[in-house]
Amino acid sequence: MPRDSDGPIVASARRSYEYAVHVCHDEQGAVDRLCSEIGGRRVALITDDSVALLHARRLADRLTDAGLTVAMTSFPAGENSKSLATAARLLDWLAGSALARRDVVLAVGGGVVIDTVGWVASAYMRGVPYINVPTTLLAHVDAALGGKVAVDHASAKNLIGSFYQPSAVVSNVGYLRTLDRRHLRAGLAEAIKKGVIASPELFELIEQRHADLLSADPVATARLVHGASVIKCRLIAKDPYEEDLRRPLNFGHTVGHAVETVAGYGHVLHGEAVAYGMACASRIARSRGLLAPALLRRITGLLREVGLPVVISDLPVRVDPVETLNALGQIRKIRDGHIRFVLPVELGETVVADDVTDEEIHRALIAEADAPGGPDD
């Protein structure tokens, strides 16, 4: 035994993790990929009540027909279900199931399902494998990727969560044909975000094909989902656990999360809140001389052309700007006194500002500056 027992002991727990993202055109392709990823393990399929009727029951039957053992449960659809109460019920269900530690949880649904089920999978038996099967456009291009899993708290969105990577993502763009226009628009918001922060080509694709994308054209949506997935995977690979909080992927989310909190979870879709948040951040960038007027109009013009909110009166419910500022104060408290705004400079280029004042934010929240022909010439 060494004599010196006072010095620190260094423990190491590094882990490298990779998983495949499969973009499929139809359910048969998705079933084939799922069977390959699952192998012979048992499956606990978790979804919401709406997706159960549309897709999940049929998917469970097809997996069963392929020889897999599948148990399934669902919970009420909507942001209100993204809660500790729902998570506790799912943990109870898993505890009563035959699922073993190497079996697979299948999260089939939109962002609420994927975030909630991913967090449950991270907690059950200290972590069981899970696979994401997104059914909304927002989940295809964003929520299903990156392993950020969480449930909401009354004081802040996604307050209770972790980083827990899926074993795979199997995206079937055919599911998007059952979405209404509002949810397709909300998904496009996250794709537009990725275009602004990292890919002029993706931004131009949405400009040119937004009518086809809002009609869930399978060729256009497959191209969009593939391109957006490549961008997100590339960005999160640089910092999968958000050790650097100055992340371009947070573009639009600072104001967006505050709006969701003030409006009451579920009344404003996540993509709608992010779109408005992007418009606000772009106005702040313009007021600081970082963003050219023409590019401000181009960003807000595309958001408006798609049918997304760019001014506070566009939001589907009344949101008070003062209450939104107060909610940002809560976010500031959670983040060690700092609010970081991702501000666009050019398509594919952003900066992060830690010094945005409440006055700047308030001006951006209440501005009526718009698309082409607006007052920022």
Region at 212 (left for phi over 0; alpha for psi -120 to 50; beta for the rest): alpha
Q: Minimal CA–CA distance to 188: which of 169, 170, 173, 203?
A: 203
Whole-number Å distance between alpha carbons of 167 and 39: 12
Instruction: Return d(Cα 365, Cα 280) in angstroms, integer.
Output: 6
- Sequence-distant (6+) residues with CB within 8 A of 175 are 27, 54, 55, 134, 135
Q: Rounded CA gap, 375 and 200, in Å?
A: 25
CB 265 within 8 A of CB 273: no
Sign of the alpha-carbon dihedral angle for 231, 234, 236, 238: negative
**Angle between helix 358-366 and helix 321-334 axes, rounded to 10 deg:** 140
DSSP string, 136-182: SHHIIIIITSS-EEEEEETTEEEEEEEE---SEEEEEGGGGGGS-HH
Question: Which of 369, 266, 367 minimizes the C-alpha distance to 317?
Answer: 266
Q: Which two tokens stand for residue 295?
A: 């590019």
Distance CA 124, CA 32 (A): 27
Q: What is the spatial distance between Cα 273 and Cα 276, in angstroms, rounded to a whole number? A: 5
Residue 230 has which token pair? 């490549």
Helix %, strand %, coil % of the chain (to 5): 55, 15, 30
* pLDDT mean values, one per 10 residues, the chain (377 residues): 72 82 97 97 98 98 98 96 97 96 97 97 97 98 95 87 96 96 96 97 97 96 97 89 78 94 90 97 98 97 98 96 90 70 97 93 87 41
- pLDDT at residue 245, rounded to an integer: 58
Neighbours of 91 (CB within 10 A): 13
**pLDDT score of 48:** 98
Question: What's the pLDDT score for residue 105?
Answer: 98
Q: Which of 80, 32, 46, 130 is nearest to 263 (CA)?
A: 80
> How many Å apart are CA 359 and CA 348, to the nearest integer?
27
Amino acid in the structure at residue 177 = R
Instruction: Put residue 289 in one of left, alpha, beta given phi > 0 → left and psi -120 to 50 → alpha.
Output: left
Catalytic residues: 126, 148, 190, 232, 242, 246, 250, 253, 257, 270
Predicted pLDDT at 334: 58
Contact in structure between 267 and 317 (CB atoms under 8 Å): yes
Say what angle helices 181-198 and 293-306 make with each other, to 10 degrees.
Answer: 160
Instruction: State the pLDDT at residue 333.
Output: 59
pLDDT at 313 (0 to 100): 96
**Tokens 């007027």 label which residue?**
293
Q: What is the rounded (10 degree) CA torsion for 335, 338, 342, 345?
A: -160
Angstrom CA distances, 99 to 33, 134, 224, 305, stand at 21, 22, 35, 47
